[in-house]
Amino acid sequence: MVMAMTAQPAKISTQKEAGTEWWRGAVLYQIYPRSFMDSNGDGIGDLKGITQKLDYVKSLGVDGVWLSPFFTSPMADFGYDVADYKGIDPIFGTLADCDEMITEMHKRGLKLVIDIVLNHSSDKHPWFIDSRKDKTSAKADWYVWADPKADGSPPNNWLSVFGGSAWEFDPGRGQYYYHQFLKQQPDLNIRNAEVQEELLATAKWWLDRGVDGFRMDALPHCIHDAQLRDNPARPLSKGDGKSTIHPYSMQWHKYDKTQPEMIPFLKKFRALTDQYKDCMLVAEVNDDKTVETTIEYTNGPEMLHTAYDFSLLTHEYSSAYLRRKVEEFFATEHDAWPSWALSNHDSIRVATRWAANDKPDVRQTKMLVAMLTSLRGSSFIYQGEELGLTEAEIPPEKRQDPGIGSTGTGRDGCRTPMPWNGAEKNAGFTAANGGWLPVPAEHAAMAAMSQNNDPNSMLNFTRHFLQWRKQHAALLRGTIAFEDADKNVVAFTREVAGEKLFCAFNLSPGTVTIPLEAGYVTLDGHGLAAKTQGQSVELPAFGGYFGKKG
């Protein structure tokens, strides 16, 4: 059993201050704590390790950090099963370590956005332990419980994202409890006003400690249909692709996700964070109508600031697809602001996923970072993406997360430790005999230390480009309009008062020539090769171009 240990907040915010909306056009760096840096030699990354590497993070030119969960947890889902929302799991350190990390980030001008898991807790959380005692316990209604059908089967056909029924029978209560992920992650009943108030109090506690916002995990999952109606079947079609192999994708998630009652709760969250200066709320949104839900959750001053879009985390890779996904978001009039990512802790690394002819190419990974951070919106870069890390192949006997995720073999391949120094044991990640996951030899060869000394490395390109980008207001907050070009090229203009830029990216390993509208002056210094001749631009393999309207 995991014991919950709660400490008092370090400081209290007493008044609202005007914000800067720093998050618009910002680039945030996602850190997966288990795999970033181990400071105490136990083979697992920790908060002190993160603090030790903050100068490196600052050197990237990012604006802030998104930190994946570090709360007290039995680690059935590596921290996304929270047993104490105000406790630091001992494997990551102490509350003092957390306070030090926050202070050191702020000294470097870095914002900190932490995960807050609203949809579910661990089954070891004291709330759930109380809830499952019986139907009259103090927290009996804090989780989603339902009676069996007359034949003893689950209440409806809802499925877990991780496979099988989303219902688990509990003999003690004689009822099923609902879990949209692992059975060790029972769903909180966010319809319950007491639960809402407790979650808001938790958010306030962390804001008072100095965090700058929250990435709100699995947000569309948080409220279900009160009548527990069955989801309708989703007919399969030839064009559906790999995702429909999973039974979860064979339903329309009409009743188990994205219910209208979520909106008032989100407004309460925004009202809370508006009491703090420069707070950021980013929703994780992934459902049957992601664009519509994203806009609904983020449109207007009462809603969240932005949402984390999954559109570019797929296997599909083409200029037509990329253009369509971005244009879908801006197809209607609204004030919503998107956030984009190419990799994270749940997806195959983009260097492998989108590799042309299955051959990762550093020219492509450079271009992709530039393209991602040139789109209208905020951007998230996952640790190691700045090194061009590929998806690791983990031997079956060393896997920690088997059978979960899009690969069918788990999510370990994108979660391996950061390689800091290829000449050291475990590539400098840990002094232990081995880390919680192994460091692949190919990653050790791409270690930050060696790339730091190579002016042409992926690491130094990322640093240079993100700093160069900050010199151009159009790339931070400008409008976006796509332009017709070669089928292998993503081309668009970004425009803000006083500046209009033309951006073009060649997604292919071959040279492509595209026309250039008169009046553009080539911008140098961004690090992507391109040649102009008259009213045309030659883009080499995975090349890019930036021009400014004269």
Chain Cα centroid distance, residue 122: 21
Cβ 489 vs Cβ 507: under 8 Å: yes
φ/ψ (deg, to 5) at 147: -75, 155
Question: From CA 50, how far away is CA 320, in angstroms rounded?
Answer: 39
Token digits of residue 249: 């994708």
| Cβ partners under 8 Å of residue 434, min gap 6 | 43, 426
The partner residues of 379 in beta bridges, in order of sequence, read 27, 340
- Going by the DSSP 8-state scheme, the letter that residue 485 receives in this structure is -
Catalytic residues: 217, 284
Could you write out the three-class secondary structure of 365-418? HHHHHHHHCCCCCEEEEECCHHHCCCCCCCCHHHCCCCCCCCCCCCCHHHCCCC
- Other Cβ atoms within 10 Å of 120 Cβ, number: 28
String of DSSP letters for 186-212: PBB-TTSHHHHHHHHHHHHHHHHHT--
Question: What pairing do the DSSP bridges indicate for beta strands 306-309 and 280-285?
Answer: parallel
- Other Cβ atoms within 10 Å of 174 Cβ, number: 12
Question: From CA 361, how far away is CA 543, in angstroms rounded?
Answer: 12
